[in-house]
Protein backbone atom coordinates (compact mmCIF):
# COMPACT_ATOMS: atom_id res chain seq x y z
CA UNK A 1 0.00 0.00 0.00
CA UNK A 2 1.04 3.57 -0.58
CA UNK A 3 1.49 5.56 2.63
CA UNK A 4 0.04 9.06 2.88
CA UNK A 5 3.55 10.50 3.03
CA UNK A 6 4.20 9.77 -0.67
CA UNK A 7 1.31 11.93 -1.75
CA UNK A 8 2.23 14.72 0.67
CA UNK A 9 5.88 14.80 -0.43
CA UNK A 10 4.85 14.77 -4.11
CA UNK A 11 2.47 17.66 -3.62
CA UNK A 12 5.05 19.60 -1.58
CA UNK A 13 7.51 19.18 -4.47
CA UNK A 14 4.89 20.21 -7.04
CA UNK A 15 3.99 23.26 -4.94
CA UNK A 16 7.66 24.29 -4.71
CA UNK A 17 8.12 23.95 -8.46
CA UNK A 18 5.04 26.10 -9.02
CA UNK A 19 6.35 28.66 -6.54
CA UNK A 20 9.65 28.78 -8.42
CA UNK A 21 7.74 29.36 -11.66
CA UNK A 22 5.71 32.20 -10.15
CA UNK A 23 8.77 33.91 -8.72
CA UNK A 24 11.24 33.37 -11.55
CA UNK A 25 9.26 33.72 -14.78
CA UNK A 26 9.13 37.05 -16.63
CA UNK A 27 6.11 36.34 -18.82
CA UNK A 28 2.77 36.97 -17.09
CA UNK A 29 1.13 33.94 -18.76
CA UNK A 30 3.95 31.73 -17.45
CA UNK A 31 3.37 33.10 -13.95
CA UNK A 32 -0.27 31.97 -14.20
CA UNK A 33 0.99 28.53 -15.32
CA UNK A 34 2.98 28.38 -12.07
CA UNK A 35 -0.13 29.29 -10.10
CA UNK A 36 -1.96 26.39 -11.76
CA UNK A 37 0.77 23.98 -10.63
CA UNK A 38 0.42 25.24 -7.05
CA UNK A 39 -3.38 24.84 -7.12
CA UNK A 40 -2.98 21.27 -8.38
CA UNK A 41 -0.57 20.50 -5.55
CA UNK A 42 -3.15 21.76 -3.05
CA UNK A 43 -5.82 19.61 -4.70
CA UNK A 44 -3.68 16.46 -4.44
CA UNK A 45 -3.32 17.17 -0.72
CA UNK A 46 -7.06 17.69 -0.24
CA UNK A 47 -8.01 14.48 -2.03
CA UNK A 48 -5.26 12.45 -0.31
CA UNK A 49 -6.39 13.63 3.13
CA UNK A 50 -9.99 12.83 2.22
CA UNK A 51 -9.02 9.28 1.21
CA UNK A 52 -6.65 8.56 4.10
CA UNK A 53 -8.43 10.21 7.03
CA UNK A 54 -12.19 9.74 6.60
CA UNK A 55 -13.60 8.69 3.20
CA UNK A 56 -17.17 8.73 4.57
CA UNK A 57 -17.07 12.53 4.99
CA UNK A 58 -16.88 14.25 1.62
CA UNK A 59 -15.33 17.55 2.81
CA UNK A 60 -12.01 16.99 1.06
CA UNK A 61 -13.55 16.31 -2.35
CA UNK A 62 -16.00 19.21 -2.02
CA UNK A 63 -13.07 21.50 -1.21
CA UNK A 64 -11.25 20.18 -4.28
CA UNK A 65 -14.28 21.00 -6.45
CA UNK A 66 -14.40 24.53 -5.04
CA UNK A 67 -10.70 24.85 -5.87
CA UNK A 68 -11.49 23.77 -9.46
CA UNK A 69 -14.11 26.51 -9.73
CA UNK A 70 -11.82 29.13 -8.23
CA UNK A 71 -8.98 28.07 -10.53
CA UNK A 72 -11.23 28.44 -13.59
CA UNK A 73 -12.34 31.89 -12.40
CA UNK A 74 -8.76 32.90 -11.66
CA UNK A 75 -7.53 31.85 -15.10
CA UNK A 76 -10.42 33.59 -16.90
CA UNK A 77 -9.89 36.89 -15.10
CA UNK A 78 -6.10 36.63 -15.16
CA UNK A 79 -5.91 35.98 -18.89
CA UNK A 80 -8.51 38.72 -19.52
CA UNK A 81 -6.29 41.14 -17.61
CA UNK A 82 -3.19 40.01 -19.51
CA UNK A 83 -4.89 40.43 -22.89
CA UNK A 84 -6.20 43.85 -21.83
CA UNK A 85 -2.72 44.95 -20.71
CA UNK A 86 -1.24 43.58 -23.93
CA UNK A 87 -3.64 45.76 -25.93
CA UNK A 88 -2.64 48.88 -24.00
CA UNK A 89 1.13 48.41 -23.63
CA UNK A 90 1.93 45.60 -26.09
CA UNK A 91 3.99 43.75 -23.50
CA UNK A 92 3.23 40.96 -21.05
CA UNK A 93 6.60 40.94 -19.29
CA UNK A 94 5.62 41.26 -15.64
CA UNK A 95 8.39 43.70 -14.72
CA UNK A 96 7.45 46.10 -17.55
CA UNK A 97 3.85 46.36 -16.41
CA UNK A 98 4.44 49.08 -13.82
CA UNK A 99 1.38 51.31 -14.27
CA UNK A 100 0.71 51.26 -10.54
CA UNK A 101 4.31 51.88 -9.51
CA UNK A 102 4.96 55.38 -8.20
> Distance between CA atoms of 16 and 32, rounded to whole angstroms?
15
Contact pattern from residue 73 through residue 92 relative to another protein, giving x for each residue in contact according to CB under 8 A and a dash for the rest: xxxxx-xxxxxx-xx--xxx
Nearest to another protein of 3, 100 (CB atom):
3
35 binds another protein (CB under 8 A): no
Considering only residues 10-29, where is the footprint of another protein by CB under 8 A?
Answer: 10, 12-21, 23-27, 29
Q: How far is the CB of 90 from another protein (least distance, A)?
A: 6
User: Residue 91, CB half-sphere, CA atoms under 13 Å: how many?
Assistant: 9
Nearest to another protein of 52, 102 (CB atom):
52
Nearest to another protein of 52, 99 (CB atom):
52
Sign of the CA dihedral running 70, 75, 78, 81: negative
The burial class, CB within 10 Å (0-12 / 13-18 / 19+), for 76 is: exposed
Amino acid sequence: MIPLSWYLILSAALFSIGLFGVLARRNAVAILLGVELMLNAVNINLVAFWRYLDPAVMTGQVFAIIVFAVAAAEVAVGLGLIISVYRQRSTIVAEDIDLLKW
